[in-house]
Amino acid sequence: MIAFLTGPAEETTAARHLEQQPEEDVSKVLVSDIREGQDVTALMMIRGRQLRPFRGRVGNFLVLKLADRSGEIEAKLWENGDDWYWRLREEDVVKVQGRSQVYNGSLELILERLRLAREEEYDLEDFLPSTERDVAEMVRQLQSVMEGIANPFLADLLRRLFDEETLERFARAPAAKVVHHAYLGGLIEHTLEVIKLCETALEIYPSLDRELLLTAAILHDVGKVREYVYRRCIDFSDEGRLLGHIALGEEVVVSTASQVPGFPGEVLVKLRHMVLSHHGQYEWQSPKRPKTIEACVLHLADYFSGQVAIFASLIKANQTQDTSWTAYNKFLERSVFIGGAIPRLIADEEGDVQRKLMEERYEGY
């Protein structure tokens, strides 16, 4: 039996009834820690809700997409689905109790108890995904790269642009709403990855314009500071929806460069081009495709970081599943192989290589 609410018409009585329920302990388990067959009591935020019809009888059940800072999980509520659908809203925080199971290869919760959480029970930060890296250390790394820019005009541009407030917002912002590095701190994490990839390219191709390439790597996604808002969830700001981070980034680069005395016009044009073209293709929202070698390198570094991050997040999200493949991913347009019977060499405690596993697997070939 589902506890607490029976329908919107009984909201006042139901609200009083909520307060009379015995308080169950809230598990500290995160979504990413949930395993099959586990009893779960937790506070989670609703990211989506949907009514689905029963197959064998009249009526609907409720499907919720629940989330905390570590990830998302689908939950099903068999009773009073229609009433709960109208009672709940996206971004509501709910207290749930249920049991996990695997259905069609995906982990889900079957809910037994459910109620709206009280504001004093939670901190909104608990429901926003965050980087696992040390943000303060990432800020130091970014500052170190900026301090290494020798071109006086580019160095001055970076100092003016990254004032204390902007640097703080840059370090906190996500790099995306959904696709890659879609968590607080994701923007600076992604930016450092792009910088490192560009530094590697500079080792292979030393004739590249180092100062321009690294400055563009730092600035290519600076518009995302204004593109996203993130209080109850990560979403687009109004100007993010209307303009996008590429246009916003180019705007802030031009505006800041105008404050630098004598900033070279040719350098500014190249820098603007790199910001505008870093997505690489028109269909990927770049108004220009890369037309300089540095712009080409920046685009590929940005693409590399984003693609690998998507693969890594899919693998991490499916580590607890008994499957060798992820579900179909619409951004990659494919499923991802995450494990299986690919033979590996295993080192024993003495450091010697054991070949027994391979020999057993290949016996008879």
- Rounded Cα distance between 32 and 41, Å, is 14
Q: How confident is the model at residue 30 (pLDDT cuts 50, 70, 90)?
A: confident
Give yes or no for a contact between 239 and 248, defined as CB atoms under 8 angstroms apart. Answer: yes
pLDDT of residue 3: 44
| For range 236-264, the mean pLDDT | 95
Which of the pair, 112 or 19, is modelled with greater confidence? 112
* pLDDT for 26 beyond 60: no
pLDDT tens, position by position, 46-94: 989 999 999 888 889 999 999 888 888 999 999 989 999 999 998 899 9
pLDDT of residue 28: 66
| For range 220-224, the mean pLDDT | 96
- Rounded Cα distance between 122 and 140, Å, is 31
| For range 350-362, the mean pLDDT | 44
pLDDT of residue 362: 38
Give yes or no for a contact between 63 and 74, defined as CB atoms under 8 angstroms apart. Answer: yes
pLDDT tens, position by position, 258-300: 999 999 999 999 999 999 999 998 888 899 999 999 999 999 9
- Rounded Cα distance between 53 and 56, Å, is 9
81 Ramachandran zone, left/alpha/beta (phi>0; psi -120 to 50): alpha
Give yes or no for a contact between 21 and 131, defined as CB atoms under 8 angstroms apart. Answer: no
Q: What is the pTM of this model?
A: 0.71
Give yes or no for a contact between 83 and 5, defined as CB atoms under 8 angstroms apart. Answer: yes
pLDDT of residue 20: 34
pLDDT of residue 11: 39
- Rounded Cα distance between 345 and 338, Å, is 18
Beta-carbon count within 10 A of 51 CB: 14
pLDDT tens, position by position, 176-195: 888 788 889 999 999 999 99
* pLDDT for 2 beyond 60: no
Which of the pair, 28 or 240, is modelled with greater confidence? 240
Residue ranges of domains in the chain, CATH in brackets = 8-124 (2.40.50.140), 135-313 (1.10.3210)
pLDDT of residue 124: 78
pLDDT of residue 188: 97
Which of the pair, 349 or 335, is modelled with greater confidence? 335
Antiparallel, parallel or unpaired: β 71-77 and 228-230: unpaired
